[in-house]
């Protein structure tokens, strides 16, 4: 199946990500205990111009999160020295706004619901399709970059991304 790599990450190469990331470099924390996967994720994001930090355990992740703020934390919840859910609880209790995308081999409904309820922005199980993962990451970045709104305003122009409407001076503009 094209674009499918079991348990692996991909490189952002689309124009939409490149135009988004050209304005500023994204800072990511990759928390993954499998060294090969962690290095692959780091390589792909670094090649696209992102700033990446990595770690393979809970203790180091908590130390980094306490010191730095990240655009997104790519989080495996099955860590050798504890549960990745602890990171979500730490973020919530310290009112940190870092986005979190869980990538995990755990595919139980209980784990997914728990992760999302604690504060993860999304949860995807390994193996995953690259196109789906890309769309989910772009959605997380877009929500954060646009202040959790789907309406962009610039002077007299208003663009509703979900409604696909454009208004100028509060008058609807018909576009194809």
20 preceded by a cis bond (ω within 30 of 0): no
Distance, first Cα to last Cα, the chain? 34
Question: Which pLDDT score is estimated for 147?
Answer: 59
Question: Which pLDDT score is estimated for 144?
Answer: 74
Domains and CATH numbers, the chain: 4-145 (3.40.50.2300), 149-176 (no CATH)
For the whole model, what pTM was predicted?
0.70
Whether 122 and 136 have beta carbons less than 8 Å apart is answered as yes
172 bridge partner residues: 167
Q: Which residues contact 105 (CB under 8 A, 6 or more apart)?
A: 7, 78, 125, 126
Q: Which residues contact 119 (CB under 8 A, 6 or more apart)?
A: 88, 91, 92, 100
For helices 130-145 and 15-22, angle between their N-to-C axes, nearest 10 degrees: 30
CB atoms within 10 A of CB 60: 16
Residue pointed to by tokens 């994204």: 26
pLDDT tens profile 120-175: 999 999 887 756 766 777 788 777 766 555 677 888 998 877 677 899 999 999 88
Distance of CA 173 to the CA centre of its chain: 33
The two tokens of residue 29 are 């924390």
Average pLDDT over residues 22-38: 83
> In terms of pLDDT, which residue wins out, 107 or 65?
65
Sign of the CA dihedral 34, 28, 143, 14?
negative
Average pLDDT over residues 88-96: 93
């Amino acid at each position: 199946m094209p674009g499918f790599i079991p348990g692996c990450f991909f490189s952002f190469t689309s124009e939409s990500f490149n135009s988004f990331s050209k304005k500023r470099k994204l800072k990511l924390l990759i928390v993954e205990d499998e060294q090969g996967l962690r290095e692959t994720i780091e390589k792909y994001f670094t090649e696209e111009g992102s700033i990446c930090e990595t770690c393979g355990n809970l203790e180091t992740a908590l130390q980094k999160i306490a010191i730095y703020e990240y655009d997104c934390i790519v989080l495996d919840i099955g860590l050798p020295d504890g549960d990745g859910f602890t990171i979500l609880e730490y973020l919530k209790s310290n009112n940190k706004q870092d986005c979190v995308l869980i990538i995990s081999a755990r595919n139980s409904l209980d784990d997914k619901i728990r992760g999302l309820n604690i504060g993860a922005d999304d949860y995807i199980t390994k193996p995953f399709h690259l196109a789906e993962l890309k769309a989910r990451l772009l959605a997380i970045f877009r929500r954060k970059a646009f202040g959790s709104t789907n309406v962009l305003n610039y002077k007299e122009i208003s663009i509703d991304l979900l409604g696909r409407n454009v208004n100028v001076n509060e008058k609807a503009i018909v576009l194809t």
